[in-house]
Structure formats: C-alpha cells, structure tokens
Structure 1
C-alpha cells in the first residue's frame, strides 16, 4: 500500500513537471513570436549603381580592351566607396546622427568580375533615409574620384528608388529563435525540477534531524 502511494506521488509530481515544462516552453515561444511579429521592424533596401571605366587610351584601337576593368581595380573602387573619407562626407552632408562604423554597417558594395558596375546597397528602417544615403554615396564617390584620383571615369547609371523593396526577418531566423526558446524552456524546467527536488530533500533532512533531536530529548526526560 505504501509503495502504491509512493508511485502515485511520483506520477503526480511528474505530471506537474510535464505541465510546467510545456507551459514554460510555449510561453517563451509565444514571446519570441510576438517580438518578431510586432516589435522587429522590417528593413528597407535600396541600391544605386555606378559604371567604372578606364581612361580612354591614346591609341583608339586599344579602347575596347582598356575598358575591361580588372578585378583589382573594381575591388579598390568598392573599398573607396566604403572608406571613412566618403562616409564622413555623406554623414556630414545628410546630417546623419550615427557613427561612421554604424553607417558602414548599413552599406554593402558589390560587383561582378565580369562587369564594370558597382552596386551600392543600403539598408535602413526608413525608405527615404536609405534612398538619401545610397544617392549621396554615389554622388560623393563620383566627386571624390575626380578630386582625389584626378579621374573622370565614374558614371552614375541608376539612382535609388522607393520601389526597390524591403526585407522582413526571414522565416529561418524566426524558426531558429523558436527552437532556441524551446530549448531554453526545457533546460530551465529541468534545472528548476532538480533545484526544487534538492530543496525539498534538504528541507526533509532538516525536519528529520529536528525530529530526531526532539525524540532524543523526550527519551532523556522520560
């Protein structure tokens, strides 16, 4: 009979622990979902494009070959777009309240080795701000090349548009966050179960110790 009561008690505790684990896990997952849906705002991406050409050589028949800009040149120009010199001018002209490093994080310059076109991609929570930064980068870079490199081989072929699009937190990001929340809920519930069990064990041991002392005192006085 006593063993049956012990088993029933263990089953009841296990049932309570399972409910606690499931409830906590679902609560954390719901909180993560709410953050992704209602708090995290989508970022808007816009882009402007620049055409990089080599200076026309003195011999006309070499022009076509010379206009094939090599990879190292494109890489150098792309790095110049994101240089502190260009970014500082853009930040000052637009009156942006962000550091150079913060501005650089919003900018991505890409190019293909087979095409002399640089694409300036800018991300921002505001479409208008993204457009202003992308266009300012294009014009500032073009002027910087003229002034610093004494070259006139950069042409703006497209400016940013409000129709470029926006990016929401991806489904993979949300799924990863939900998995992490579920794992955290399980781990926390397991540790809490062990902690509660340890506290109960310590409390019971203390009670038994007190009762033992009381019984010893009663025996002595008898």
Structure 2
C-alpha cells in the first residue's frame, strides 16, 4: 500500500527541495521564451466587415422578424464563403499559391450578437497577404452572392488593412504557461526524489515507522572540529608527558 503525503509533509518537502521547483520553473520560462521568439512563426490577423440586406417583397417597413431572419442568414453566408464557388476564385486570384483547405483554415467568420454585420477575419504569416486575402474573399462574395440567393445589397463597410502587430504567439501568456508547467513538473520531481530517498533524516522514522528504540545520536564533526579536537589531544598528551618527566626528576 502506497504511503499518502499529507499537507504538512508536502510543505516540508517543498521547503526542503524548493530549489528544484525554482530551477524547473526557470527552465520552463526560458524554453517558452526561446520557442516564442525563435521557433514559433508569428501570425497576423485582419478583418473586413460586411452588411448583407435581403430583398424585401413588401413595400412596408422592415419588421423585427425580418431582421432576425437576416441575422440567421449569416450562417448561410458563412457556408457560401467557405464553398468552392468563392474559395476557388480567390485561390485563382492569388496565383494558386494555396490549396482550398489551407485557405479555409485562414478564414474565420466573426459575428456580433443581434447585428446584421459580420466580419471576415483572415490570419496569415504575412500581414499584407492577410489583408489581401480578406479583401479578395469579401469582393468575391459580393460579386457572386446575388446569383446564389436572393439578396438586395452586399455592402463592404470597412476593408481589411495590414496589421503589423502579431496576434500570436503571445510571449507573456506563453511565459505564464511555462511557469505553471515548470512548477508542476518541479513539484512532481520533488515528490519523486523524496519518495526514492531511503536515507534516515529524522529520528521519528526510527521510532514511528520502524518501531525501533532510539538509543542515541551520533553527531557528525566538521573537518575544523576534527582538527581542533586532534590539537587538544596533542596538547593533552604533551602536558601529561611533561608532568611525568618533571615528576621523575
């Protein structure tokens, strides 16, 4: 049956092997910093916003139900944008440098609650190409949507612009993750080292766990103490020898 570790034992273990936890945490920060700055490729994102109005068969003002229908239609617009009817044309405009799957992974449709406006967000390793792709997708969708479903107008409210600030990787977030992972690994390593340590460090182990009788302690002398003790013994021997010689005379 495995021995359980209580909170008191865990505190003592952390206090004893704190340097292991600190060392592994520092290594975690260093690794995540290196990965973020030198290994992971920065990703840049930009968004273009559109508004699609469906044709209204009535001459009366648009009712709330019509607006809700327009909002629900955004899911349909998302499917059309991710369909080959739009994707293939965008790929052709880009010079066939991407596959359909690669382009779809770069595109994300951003919706707002209770709003007919939605955004086409594109993430790419190049900020200029991200803006180019987003604008091409929006323009292609605008040109082809009327031939697919009955809409009145597709308005591009704002075109995508190159954003020089990367959205990922996030150095601070990665460093926090590195510290947490390093702390947990250091704690686990400390527990392993503690459980595998078979040395007797406390007399309680002898009396409580082994049930033996504690007869006494053997203190360990430092080299300086040993040298001083030897010096005292030499002086004592020399003194006694001198006394014997003087007594004999």
In the alignment, is residue 76 of structure 1 matched against residue 76 of structure 2? yes
Partner secondary structure for residue 49 of structure 1? strand
- Whether contact under 8 Å (1:145, 1:152) holds in the other structure is no
Which residue is 1:181 aligned to? Answer: 182
Conserved 8 A contact 1:135-1:159 = yes
Does structure 2 retain, via aligned residues, the 8 Å contact 1:28–1:185?
no
Distance 1:102 1:22, change over 3 A: same
**Larger proportion of helix:** 1
Give yes or no for contact 1:46–1:164 (8 Å, CA) kept in 2: no
- Normalization by structure 2: what TM-score? 0.59
Does the 8 Å CA contact 2:44/2:167 hold for their aligned counterparts?
yes
SS in 2 for 1:109: strand
2:25–2:181 CA contact under 8 A, matched in 1: no
Contact preservation (8 Å) 2:44, 2:123: yes
Matched, 1:31 2:31: yes
Q: Alpha carbons of 1:42 and 1:72: their partners in 2 closer, same or farther (altered >3 Å)?
A: same
Q: Which runs of 5+ in 1 are unaligned?
A: 1-15, 199-222
Corresponding position of 1:100: 100
Structure 2 gaps of 5+ residues are 1-15, 199-249
- Provide the rounded CA distance (Å) in 1 between the counterparts of 2:98 and 2:192: 43
Question: Is the contact made by 1:78 and 1:110 (CA closer than 8 Å) also made in structure 2?
Answer: no
User: CA 1:36–1:182 in structure 2 vs 1: closer, same or farther (change >3 Å)?
Assistant: farther
After TM superposition, the runs of 4+ consecutive aligned structure 1 residues lying more than 6 A away are 192-195
Match of 1:126? 126
Asked whether the 8 Å contact 2:50–2:154 carries over to 1, the reply is yes
Q: If the length of structure 1 is used for normalisation, what is the TM-score? A: 0.65
| CA 178–99 in structure 1, closer or farther in 2 if over 3 Å, else same | farther
Aligned partners of 1:45 and 1:124 also within 8 Å: yes
Q: Deviations over 1:6-60 (max 9, x none)?
A: xxxxxxxxxx976566444423431222222343343222111111101142x42
- 1:167 CA drift (Å): 1.9
| SS, match of residue 26 in structure 1 | helix
Partner deviation per Cα, 1:108-161 (whole Å, 9 max, x = no partner): 112234322121111122111110110011011112212323645222222111
Counterparts of 1:94 and 1:80, CA distance in 2: 19
Contact 1:106 1:122 in 2 (8 A): yes
Q: Is the 8 A contact 1:47 1:134 kept in 2?
A: yes
The count of residues paired between Structure 1 and Structure 2 equals: 182
What is the RMSD computed on CA atoms of the aligned residues?
Answer: 3.4
Question: What is the CA–CA distance in structure 1 between the aligned matches of 2:20 and 2:175, rounded to whole Å?
Answer: 24
Three-state SS of the structure 1 residue aligned to 2:161 is coil
Q: Is contact 1:120–1:134 with CA below 8 Å preserved after alignment?
A: yes
